[in-house]
Structure formats: structure tokens, C-alpha cells
Structure 1
Amino acid sequence: MNITAKFLGGSGVVTGSKYLIDLGDFEFLVDCGLFQGPKALRELNWDKFPMPVADLEAIVLTHAHLDHIGYLPKLVKQGFNGPIYCTKATADLAKILLLDSGKLQEEEAEFARKKGYSRHEDPQPLYTMEDAESVFPLLVPQPFETPFSIHPAVTVTFFHAGHILGASIVKFVIKGEHQTKRLVFSGDLGRYKDPILYPPTRIPKADILWIESTYGDRKSPVQKPEEDLARAIRDTFDRGGMVIIPAFAVGRTQLLMYHLYQLMEKGKIPKVPIFVDSPMAIDATRLYLDYHADHRLSAMLEEEHHPFKHPQLRYFQKQEQSMSLNDYKGNAIIVSASGMATGGRVLHHFFHHLPHEKNGVIVVGYQAEGTRGRRLLEGEPTLKIYGHDIPVKAKIYSIEGLSAHADQEELIDWAEGFCEKPKLTFVVHGEKESAETLASKLKNELGWNTVIPQYLESFVLFEGI
């Protein structure tokens, strides 16, 4: 048996993760992500898939963020009908995120059609809600730390990655005629001291390793990010303004809800309304109650008041509720998706609140190149929203330490958990500088053989095993 790997995304960029493993008689993908960020990357989503879809027999998902699952409806639309393996929480989250993605793409295409700002005469969505629903029957949920087979020669096990609810490190054990090989995919690794999620599991052995490098070039200097969060909120309230926090609906929103609840209970910020204005975030939050064994908050959730249920929280499902915040008077906090301001209701709030100096926008977590979130951090004076140049007059705050990604030290710490160094380590899911920095540290400090693969590059991993 020969084993080859091809990089269909997530290489040289922090988006579009798709890794093709070919055993000769069996081809499967690890992750099936959407390209996000700069236009040149987004346009890759519209390209013909770089392999015959009919040859693809299975997909294994690390977690439910769109840069790891968002291309699934497009792939199914092109004819894929094999099993899609993932953890149980990932399956439920995937349904929420994919439906929302389909809806947003339908809405954006319709809005572009009405406003006439698309270069296409009849702009179409990449896929629809109906396309997203076609993925659901293919999902095959599996428990953590329980091996299962996807092929007579391939056994898979999911381990906690600590990134978002249901996120996994994936280990493949491939049995050839003469040898057995282990392939390990880190997925996106979380923080070791996350107050909600379990830390990433240490894996003792891997012949070939894929390790993410989102924060491979930086260390988090902030040990208590909630203090910086509190200062930014108080500062905005002192000006009589409203706080807008763009946040990923899954993971980041729940972490913010936890910190905001703790800050209010400790008297470090006033008890003001917190508007969670994201139907997807609301649905995702409910899953934390369903999958209580997958996180640390089980005991807290048994109390009458907890981070996801207390008098200050307002869950806004309907669009009319969201629009009512345009004229809201007084101090308040709006938490709304998307986290990098690439779409979603947060754009509506930016449209109305960015032009006013009294307001504050708190940017948390990683912001990919080309996104509105990154442009805010870079100090651009205007943002293009709904075809208009919106002046950025609100004060922009950047809070570090609330990322769902392990920083450089944590990535190295996780890597040191291997009892013996992998024969080859692919450094993936990172921009050029972060990938190069992590690859260099792994090579120089641990003596590892590291490679930063390029888009569509192929490698022969093993021959005649």
C-alpha cells in the first residue's frame, strides 16, 4: 500500500482546510473548509474541485467552523454522497453553521442583486440552505476516544482539541500488509487554561503530523483578558456609548458570555443589557447544555443563574429585534456574528454605530487578512458595508487572550507531548510568517523534520507498507 497526501486548502493560509489522503483504493478528506478572507481566496470556492468528486469516498471533520466544514454543501452538490465522520457535538453544530452559511449567502446574493453592486448581472449564492440540508443525512457522529473504522485498513479516533465544543484532534491508524502507520491531525488546538473547554489531549505517537499554526508566531501576553475587556467596556460607557463585539457564534460568543457574567457578578462592569444578536449563537449555546460532558461548566449550569441564563441576557432571534437596537439609548453590549465581520448581523450594527465616536468596538481573537475585522485593527478610516463606505469614528479596542487558538508556547507544549518525534510534520492552517516561525521552532528546538506545504502540493508519505 502507498499513502499520498494532497493539500487542497489550509496550506499557507488560515482558511479552506482540506487534506486529501489517498491509499490507492481509498481516498478520503480530512476537513472540507470554505475559503474566507481576501477576494482571491474566496474565488477559489467557485473553482472546479481539484479532484474527481466521484473518487472521494469519505470525509473526516476535526470541528465545525466554516473554514473546516463550509465547503461541504458545494461538494455534495457536485455529487459527493459518502459518509462524513465527526464528533456528536460537531454534527449538531455543523447543521447550525451550514444552514446559517447557506442563508447568509442567499441573502447576500439577493442584496447585491437589489443594490446592483455586484459585477454579475444575476449574482448567485455559492450554495443555498437547501444545499446545506443535503449534507445532514451524510453526517456520521462518533464519540470521543472510541476507535471506529472508515475502511478495513483505517481506524479513526477523536480526542479533545479544546478549540470549540466538539473540536477534535484526529488520529488515523492505517494497517498495511507489512507495517502500521499513524497519521495525526491537530485540527485547531485550543487554550490550555480555557475556562470552558478541556485542554488539548496529548498524543504520544505519530508517524506523520499535521499541526495548525494560526498563532505560530506569537505569544499571548495577557493572562487575564477579562481585565482588559472590563476596561474597554467601562471606557465606552463613560462616553455614553454602546459596545459592539463581533464574535464567532460558536465558541467565542459563549466564552464572552462567561466573562461578561463573571465581570458583572464581581462588580467590575455595570449590570447592563447584553444583547446576543445571532440566531446561530443562540442555537449553539443550547448545545452546551446538551453536551455538558464535553466542557467544564456542568456544575455551574445547574444553578438558577449562570453565564447562559441570567437577568441581563437578551437573546435576539428575530431580525426586527436586531433592528430595534438602531435606536437603543443607554449603555448596552451587543455580541453578534460574524467574528471577523465578513457577514452576519454585526455588519448591520457596524453600519449604524461605527460612525459615532461615543461607541466602542471590541475586536477579540484572530482576524484573517482582508477581513473587515483585520482592517479595523489596521486603522482604516472607512469600511465597505452593503456597498457604502462607512466612516470608522467609534473607538476600536483589541483584546488579546480571548482567542480560541493555542498560542506559540501552547503549540510547542502540545508538540512536546509526543514520546518520539514524527518522521514528518506538516505545518498548516497559518499565514506565511506564523507557519514559518512555528516550523523553525519545531525544527530548531525539537529537531523535527517540518514542511510548509503549498496549495495543491502532493507528497508521497509511504510506499509499500
Structure 2
Amino acid sequence: MQIQFLGAAGTVTGSKTLVEHDGRRVLVDCGLFQGVKQLRLRNWNALPLPAEDIDAVLLTHAHLDHSGFLPRLMNLGFQGRIHATRATIDLCRLLLADAGHLFEEEAAYANRHGFSRHRPALPLFKKEDAQRVLRQFVPQDFNASFEPIAGLRARLQPAGHILGAASVRLEAQGRSVLFSGDLGRDDDLVMEPPAPPSASDVVIIESTYGDRLHEAVDPLDQLADVIARTAARGGIVVIPAFAVGRAQALLHALQLLKTAQRIPDLPIYLNSPMAAGATRLYTAWHELHRLDEADCARIAAGTRIVETVEDSKRLNMLKWPSVIVSASGMLTGGRVLHHLVAFAGDPRNSIVLPGFQAPGTRGAALLAGATSLKVHGQYLTVRAEVAPMAAMSAHADRDGLLRWLGRLPSPPREVLVTHGEPAAADALRLAIEERFGWPARVPEQGERVEVR
């Protein structure tokens, strides 16, 4: 069995790892590169092999940096099956269609206003492409063994993080490799902890937070403080949030704070059709996470869902304290950008940044103290309070990643550290070597590794 890293090597997005066995090929994850332009341009490149030569895809979870390249892969010629948990498939039905719609909207906007260098600007893929690729999905149950290709056994194990997320273990001819996927936290507000990993010859682990620990603070305290002081100023709280996982955790946290009377009884808006759909899926799949039916009902009753574009625009005219939760989580696109334009210039308002912000995104720029941002071809001045909330991250931190590795029944022959910025990945590599004494390294983009 041979593996090749086609993404998330030296960066935190674009997860794609090619696995070859007996002349057949499986891709573990098929994600979009996000962040700085040099990375995003990779999404337009062909893979180093014809897409039609890939026999199957295995998805760890539905976030676009793991699933968002699938429609593009199909357009390049991929005709195989895509294996994922049932909840992941339900989420992909939302996320991929929404991504295609946004790509089309962005291309149309660029063409109308002439700020693209391309004539005409084209979408990476369309909504109809996303809908077509869904026909290639095959549902798999957690902990059930299956063969994506002949002679290669696969098993999906719960990884926490978001609804349906899994680690993937592959085995062939007595050799095995375990892909962590994105690992959740033991103390997550919504998701259960990751399942203990299975013994494997090679472990490929993410390192999003490989060089840091989560703040030893209660995220409810952080959220309550920023909402209370913003409301006291008469301001609006804008929270860019990933539509899947982060949005649901925030809505749950907001209802907990309201119930405990720790924040004013101000209106809470969810302005993301995709996040609204995902929230309904969290209700439908409540047995896969910590929230019971009463928690889900409380979120539904206490949240004002904004469906139409007209209602979204009306939010920008709000004059009273409110909370707006809207996608995207790193301010890379979507309706939240219009709220940024409307509210970032007023010092009474706040922009809350919950969790990781990839380099090159507007969210990362705000965290670094930027006082102006380019949105839709124009610069806007930022005077609103910027409030980081790393404690809301759905990723395991360095100690969480090490705890997961420490639950392996036996030492692996090698640990390969991926899905992290260079400093984070190397810090986790060093921590693995120091704590366990196991061989660990950070593979490079395009590198091939033999599983022996």
C-alpha cells in the first residue's frame, strides 16, 4: 500500500491523500484549498493523475476543506463511488450545493462589477454539479467494515468534531494506515469525544492546533461578556460561523446563556440557509451528539431563521442590540460579508471570531489587528470591537491530539503529521517524538510513502 499527499501538506486545507493498492486508487478526503490566493488557485489545477483513474473516495467529514473538491473532481472525470457516514452525506447535500451556489454568485458579481481579471469570471463548479455528484455517494455505518476497492478493507470510527465525522482505517495484506480526520474535543459543547483509535502501522494525524492549547476559560463566559458589553453600548454582535458544527454550538451556547439570564433577552438571528438546514439535521441526528430533543427544541424556539435575501438585507438596518450568526466562519464569502460592511465601521458593534482562522482569510486579518478589509473589491474601515474566542474551536488542541494518540493499543511504526500550518505541524511532530518516542515527520505536498 502506497500513499501520496495531494493536499493539507504544509497547510491546513485541501485535504486529499491518494492510497494505491494492487493497481487501484482510493482518495481519502477531497477538499478545497482555502485561505491565501496561492492556495485557492490550486483548486483550478488538475491532479497529478487523471481523475478517471481514481476508483473511490472516502470522506472523513463534510467540511469543505475535506469534501468541497468533489464536484470539481467529477467534472475532471471521476466516476467512482464516494463512501461516507449517513450524517456526512446529509451534510454534504447542503454544503456542496451551497458552495456551488456561492461560486456562481461570486462569478456573476465579479462580472457585473468588473473586478475580476478574468473575462468572464467562471465558478469553480456550479450548484448543479454539486447535486450531480451526490448520486455517487454510498452510505456507511460507523465501525462497519467494507471494501471501497477489492482487497482494501475500510472502517469509519467516530471522530467527534462535527456531525458524522470519522477517522478512517484502511487495511490490506496485513498492513494498515489510520487517518485521524479532524478530531474533536473531549469537552465539546455539542459533540461526543473521539473514539479511541485502532492499532495501525502508520497514523496520519491532523495538526490544526498542534502548536497550542485551548484557553483555560469557559467559552460561555467569553460569549456572555462580549454580548453584555456590546448590548450596553447599543451595538450589534456579528458572529461569522461555520454553518456546520460551529453555528449549532453557538446557538446552543446562546440559549444556555439566555436561560441562565446571563445575557439580555435580545433577538438572535441565524442568517445562513445552509446553517439552518444543518441545524435541522443536528435535530434529526441527535443520537450522534450531546444535545437531546429538549436542547434542540430550545434552539429552534429561540432562534430567528433568516431565509430570504430580502430579509438578510433588512438585518443590515438593525438599530437595536441583536446577535447575528452567519456564514462563512473565516469571512471568506457568504451573507456575513454584507453584515461586515454594514456593522464593522461602528465602534458600538462587535465582531466575534470563534475558533481557527486560516492564514490569508479576512478572519485572520482581523485577529492580527487589521483596521481595514477588502470586501467585494472595496476597502472598509474596521472600528467595531474584534473579540477572539478560540475556546469555541471544534478541533482538539495539542494535548487533545496527544491524548488520542496515547490511546493507541500499540505504537505505530510511524506518525505522519498533516493538515496544519508549518509551525503547528512541526510542533506536534516534536511533541509526539518527545512524549512517545515514536518516529514522526511532516510530509511534503506530493510526497509518496510506502506503508510497510
| TM-score using structure 1 length | 0.96
CA RMSD for the aligned pairs? 1.0
Q: Aligned to 1:257, what secondary structure does the other structure show?
A: helix
The alpha carbon displacement at 1:223 in A equals 3.8
Q: Aligned to 1:248, what secondary structure does the other structure show?
A: coil
* Counterparts of 1:222 and 1:103, CA distance in 2: 39
The one-letter amino acid of 1:340's match is M
* Structure 1: segments with no counterpart, 5+ residues: none
Are positions 1:388 and 2:382 aligned together? no
Are positions 1:332 and 2:332 aligned together? no
Q: Which aligned pairs between 1:290-301 and structure 2 lie closer than 5 A?
A: 290-301=284-295
Q: Which aligned pairs between 1:199-278 and structure 2 lie closer than 5 A?
A: 199-278=193-272
Q: Which of 177, 180, 190 in structure 2 is aligned with 1:186? A: 180
* Counterparts of 2:125 and 2:42, CA distance in 1: 14
Could you tell me which residue of structure 1 aligns to residue 347 of structure 2?
357
Could you tell me which residue of structure 2 aligns to residue 428 of structure 1?
418
Could you tell me which residue of structure 1 aligns to residue 360 of structure 2?
370
Q: Which of 398, 410, 428 in structure 1 is aligned with 2:388? A: 398
* Counterparts of 1:262 and 1:96, CA distance in 2: 27
- Provide, for residues 147-171 of structure 1, a one-character-per-residue CA deviation record: whole Å limited to 9, x for no partner: 1222331121111111100000111
* Counterparts of 2:112 and 2:264, CA distance in 1: 42
Aligned 8 A contact 2:175 2:451 in 1: no
Aligned 8 A contact 1:252 1:404 in 2: yes
Q: Which aligned pairs between 1:93-132 and structure 2 lie closer than 5 A?
A: 93-132=91-130
Q: Aligned to 1:49, what secondary structure does the other structure show?
A: coil
Are positions 1:379 and 2:369 aligned together? yes
Are positions 1:343 and 2:339 aligned together? no
Q: Which of 61, 71, 74 in structure 1 is aligned with 2:72? A: 74
Could you tell me which residue of structure 2 aligns to residue 91 of structure 1?
89
Aligned 8 A contact 2:348 2:384 in 1: yes
The one-letter amino acid of 1:36's match is Q
* Structure 2: segments with no counterpart, 5+ residues: none
The alpha carbon displacement at 1:134 in A equals 1.4
The alpha carbon displacement at 1:190 in A equals 0.4
- Provide, for residues 208-255 of structure 1, a one-character-per-residue CA deviation record: whole Å limited to 9, x for no partner: 111000000000123411101110111111111000000000000000
The one-letter amino acid of 1:309's match is A
Aligned 8 A contact 2:21 2:152 in 1: no
Q: Aligned to 2:392, what secondary structure does the other structure show?
A: coil
* Counterparts of 1:133 and 1:208, CA distance in 2: 35
- Provide, for residues 372-408 of structure 1, a one-character-per-residue CA deviation record: whole Å limited to 9, x for no partner: 0000111111100011100001110011210010001
* Counterparts of 1:189 and 1:384, CA distance in 2: 33
Aligned 8 A contact 1:222 1:400 in 2: no
* Counterparts of 2:238 and 2:295, CA distance in 1: 26
Q: Aligned to 1:321, what secondary structure does the other structure show?
A: helix
* Counterparts of 2:293 and 2:337, CA distance in 1: 36
The alpha carbon displacement at 1:270 in A equals 0.6
Could you tell me which residue of structure 1 aligns to residue 29 of structure 2?
31
* Counterparts of 2:50 and 2:451, CA distance in 1: 21
* Counterparts of 1:326 and 1:27, CA distance in 2: 49
* Counterparts of 2:317 and 2:236, CA distance in 1: 11
Q: Aligned to 1:199, what secondary structure does the other structure show?
A: coil
Q: Which of 192, 202, 207 in structure 2 is aligned with 1:198? A: 192
Could you tell me which residue of structure 2 aligns to residue 148 of structure 1?
146
Are positions 1:138 and 2:136 aligned together? yes
Could you tell me which residue of structure 2 aligns to residue 444 of structure 1?
434
The one-letter amino acid of 1:454's match is E
* Counterparts of 1:63 and 1:228, CA distance in 2: 28
* Counterparts of 1:96 and 1:398, CA distance in 2: 28
The alpha carbon displacement at 1:43 in A equals 0.4
The one-letter amino acid of 2:17's match is Y
Q: Which of 401, 404, 416 in structure 2 is aligned with 1:414? A: 404
Q: Which of 288, 300, 308 in structure 2 is aligned with 1:309? A: 300
The one-letter amino acid of 1:278's match is S
The alpha carbon displacement at 1:427 in A equals 0.1
Which stretch has the larger CA shift, 344-353 or 152-161? 152-161
Aligned 8 A contact 2:3 2:451 in 1: yes
Q: Aligned to 1:192, what secondary structure does the other structure show?
A: coil
Which stretch has the larger CA shift, 18-27 or 35-44? 18-27
* Counterparts of 2:343 and 2:116, CA distance in 1: 25
Q: Aligned to 2:106, what secondary structure does the other structure show?
A: helix
Aligned 8 A contact 1:33 1:66 in 2: yes
Which stretch has the larger CA shift, 203-212 or 255-264? 203-212
- Percent identity reads 43
The one-letter amino acid of 1:410's match is G
Which stretch has the larger CA shift, 196-205 or 345-354? 196-205
* Counterparts of 2:123 and 2:256, CA distance in 1: 41
Q: Aligned to 2:263, what secondary structure does the other structure show?
A: coil
The alpha carbon displacement at 1:298 in A equals 2.5
Could you tell me which residue of structure 2 aligns to residue 170 of structure 1?
168
Aligned 8 A contact 1:443 1:450 in 2: yes
- The runs of 4+ residues in structure 1 deviating greater than 3 Å are none
- Matched residue count: 452
* Counterparts of 1:185 and 1:114, CA distance in 2: 43
